[in-house]
């Protein structure tokens, strides 16, 4: 049988086999070469490979790493960073006269947060996991050593051990082992921020209430009175005077009065350091310089969702440059449909002069007023900005601001 007869052979469905169509080609506008019009061709594959090669090459350092940088091993190894290498990281940055060591000179235990061999910054979180799970990075610059610790939330046993210290309901999540500590090695002056000391400073009561507090009290009061049939005089008195003490009828047990919003005015735990009010201005201009960041870390100290009525969160954030550092401890409070509150403590340390500035600021804003400022700005999630502490702090008034200074001897 010839090829033409085979091509015209009848198929089971009653039709005829059509001769195979030759593949269609299109002309590449760049090379002029005809390539298949469909599917992945060799030119596309080569182009993709070249793009990956360019992307990978651009991610690598353009200059070889400075040999004076060295990554410490698992032992507690002190690393000296050259001043010339730090100064070269920023063209506008003057040559510092700092002495930098990673980990800190008095760091105890194993160092799991080495120094980057290219940029010189401390690697946080640690590139290798450890057990128990924790990060303990540290750095020394001149006379100052900076330590941070990050560990999981407190266990049930650890919370039970705090019952004697705190006789009120604690936040839902407490990172009681987290801390950030600034130590002057010569004067032994210390500024530390941790969750437990912050909880010690909260007020004994709060005037803030949830948006539906009146309805909740009425419901509790009605249910309690309906079951207390033997106390008719109490029901009569309650109807006559709605301002009497409701704790007898609402069955609410209170061990100790406390601020249920956990609005701490914590300014840090101070050792061997005295602050005095000053008329100086906070050095924002120095913080805006494009200086290399040698150390950056942030952590949460405690967090509570206030019974699904908002959030109360205390957090810390620190960044260390060759000549100074900035530490921020921020309380962010949002009670839905009621209020926004921010309480900031900023600490600035000048490594050259050993001068310490501490700024404390309080801000409050009505919930609906803040909500009205985002209309039309965000379409997909209009309330996403309400969860951003930085945006909220820029849109609520400042109620109180004070600046203090402490000069340490060199």
Same domain, yes or no, for 335 and 373? yes
Same domain, yes or no, for 283 and 383? yes
Q: What is the mean pLDDT of the chain?
A: 77
Say if CB 318 and CB 326 are below 8 A apart. yes
Q: How far apart are CA 60 and CA 117, in angstroms?
A: 13
Q: Which residues of 310-322 are buried (b: 16+ CB within 10 A; e: fewer)?
A: bbbbbbbebbbbb
Phi, psi torsion values for 295, nearest 5 degrees: -155, 125
User: Is the residue at 122 inside a domain?
Assistant: yes
Quick one: average pLDDT of 7-32? 49
User: Is the residue at 71 inside a domain?
Assistant: no
Q: 56 falls in which pLDDT band (50, 70, 90)?
A: low
Quick one: average pLDDT of 116-132? 82
Same domain, yes or no, for 191 and 243? no
Q: 78 falls in which pLDDT band (50, 70, 90)?
A: very low
Same domain, yes or no, for 295 and 156? yes
Same domain, yes or no, for 105 and 236? no
Q: 146: helix, coil or strand?
A: strand
pLDDT in the model for residue 141: 95
Pairing verdict, β 310-320 and 190-194: unpaired
pLDDT in the model for residue 37: 52
Q: Which residues constitute the domain of residue 26?
A: 20-60
Same domain, yes or no, for 167 and 232? no
Ranges of beta strands (E only) in 142-294 are 144-149, 173-174, 179-184, 190-194, 269-271, 276-277
List, in order, residues 6 or more apart from 102 with CB less than 8 Å away.
72, 78, 79, 81, 111, 114, 115, 122, 138, 139, 140
Q: How far apart are CA 225 and CA 213, in angstroms?
A: 18
Does residue 32 register a pLDDT over 80? Answer: no
Does residue 13 register a pLDDT over 80? Answer: no
Quick one: average pLDDT of 168-173? 91
Same domain, yes or no, for 117 and 190? yes
DSSP string, 34-57: EEESSS--HHHHHHHHHHHHHHHH
In Å, what is the CA distance from 281 to each residue of 130, 321, 396?
A: 43, 20, 21
In Å, what is the CA distance from 269 to each residue of 104, 148, 193, 292?
A: 21, 14, 6, 28
Does residue 361 register a pLDDT over 50? Answer: yes
Does residue 226 register a pLDDT over 70? Answer: no
Does residue 332 register a pLDDT over 90? Answer: yes
State which of 77-86, 178-187, 222-231 shows the largest mean pLDDT.
178-187
Phi, psi torsion values for 310, nearest 5 degrees: 150, -140
Does residue 288 register a pLDDT over 50? Answer: yes
Does residue 89 register a pLDDT over 70? Answer: no
Q: Which candidate, 357, 329, 323, places its Cα nearest to that of 179?
A: 329
In Å, what is the CA distance from 294 to each residue of 24, 28, 122, 123, 323?
A: 59, 50, 6, 9, 10
User: Is the residue at 264 inside a domain?
Assistant: yes
Quick one: average pLDDT of 393-405? 96
Angle, helices 232-240 vs 213-227, to 10°: value is 150
User: Is the residue at 68 inside a domain?
Assistant: no
Does residue 350 register a pLDDT over 70? Answer: yes
Quick one: average pLDDT of 176-198? 96
Q: Among 144-148, 206-210, 355-359, which is the least confidently predicted range? A: 206-210
Domain count, the chain: 3
Does residue 51 register a pLDDT over 60? Answer: yes
Same domain, yes or no, for 347 and 231? no
Instruction: Give the H or E element holding residue 223.
Output: helix 213-227
Q: 242 falls in which pLDDT band (50, 70, 90)?
A: very low
Quick one: average pLDDT of 25-33? 50
Say if CB 332 and CB 343 are below 8 A apart. no
Say if CB 101 and CB 139 are below 8 A apart. yes
pLDDT in the model for residue 62: 52
Q: How far apart are CA 101 and CA 81, in angstroms?
A: 7
Does residue 179 register a pLDDT over 80? Answer: yes
Q: pLDDT tens digits, residue range 90-122?
A: 434 444 445 899 999 999 888 888 888 888 899
User: Is the residue at 3 inside a domain?
Assistant: no
Q: Which of 28, 60, 92 is the last residue of a domain?
A: 60
Same domain, yes or no, for 159 and 270? yes
324, β-bridge pairs: 350
Residue of higher predicted confidence among 72 and 53: 53
Does residue 255 register a pLDDT over 50? Answer: no
Q: Is 274 exposed, middle or buried (0-12, 13-18, 19+ CB in 10 A)?
A: exposed
User: Is the residue at 74 inside a domain?
Assistant: no
Same domain, yes or no, for 149 and 293? yes
Same domain, yes or no, for 198 and 110? yes
Pairing verdict, β 398-407 and 79-80: unpaired
Residue of higher predicted confidence among 250 and 155: 155
Same domain, yes or no, for 151 and 48? no
Quick one: average pLDDT of 3-16? 47
User: Is the residue at 9 inside a domain?
Assistant: no
User: Is the residue at 12 inside a domain?
Assistant: no
Quick one: average pLDDT of 245-273? 73
pLDDT in the model for residue 131: 72
């Amino acid at each position: 049988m010839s090829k033409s007869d085979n091509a015209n052979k009848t198929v089971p469905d009653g039709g005829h086999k059509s001769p195979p169509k030759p593949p269609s080609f299109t002309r590449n506008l760049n090379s002029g070469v005809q390539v298949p019009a469909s599917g992945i061709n060799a030119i596309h594959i080569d182009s993709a490979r070249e793009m990956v090669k360019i992307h990978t090459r651009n991610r690598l350092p353009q200059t070889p790493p400075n040999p004076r940088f060295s990554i410490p091993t698992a032992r507690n190894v002190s690393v000296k960073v050259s001043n010339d290498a730090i100064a070269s990281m920023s063209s506008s940055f003057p040559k510092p006269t700092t002495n930098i060591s990673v980990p800190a000179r008095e760091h105890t235990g194993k160092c799991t947060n080495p120094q980057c061999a290219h940029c010189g910054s401390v690697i946080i979180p640690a590139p290798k996991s450890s057990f128990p799970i924790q990060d303990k990075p540290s750095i020394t610059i001149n006379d100052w050593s900076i330590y941070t610790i990050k560990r999981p939330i407190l266990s049930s046993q650890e919370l039970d051990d705090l019952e004697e210290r705190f006789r009120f309901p604690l936040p839902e999540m407490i990172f009681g082992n987290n801390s950030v500590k600034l130590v002057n090695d010569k004067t032994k002056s210390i500024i530390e921020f941790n969750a437990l000391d912050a909880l010690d400073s909260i007020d004994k009561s709060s005037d803030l209430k949830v948006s539906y507090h009146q309805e909740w009290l009425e419901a509790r009061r009605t249910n309690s009175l309906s079951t207390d049939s033997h106390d008719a005089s109490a029901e009569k008195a309650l109807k006559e005077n709605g301002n009497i003490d409701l704790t007898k009828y609402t069955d609410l047990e209170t061990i100790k009065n406390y601020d249920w919003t956990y609005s701490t005015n914590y300014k840090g735990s101070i050792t061997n350091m005295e602050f005095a009010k000053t008329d100086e201005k906070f050095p924002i201009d120095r913080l805006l310089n494009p200086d290399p960041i040698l150390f950056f870390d942030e952590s949460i100290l405690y967090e509570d969702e206030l019974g699904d009525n908002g959030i109360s969160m205390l957090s810390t954030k620190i960044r260390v440059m060759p000549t100074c550092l900035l530490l921020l401890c921020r309380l962010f409070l949002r009670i839905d449909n009621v209020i926004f509150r921010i309480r900031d403590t900023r600490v600035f340390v000048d490594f050259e002069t050993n001068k310490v500035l501490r700024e404390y600021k309080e801000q409050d804003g009505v919930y609906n007023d803040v909500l009205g400022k985002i209309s039309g700005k965000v379409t997909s999630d209009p309330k996403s900005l309400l969860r951003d502490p930085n945006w909220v702090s820029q849109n609520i008034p400042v109620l109180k601001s004070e600046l203090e200074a402490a000069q340490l001897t060199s």
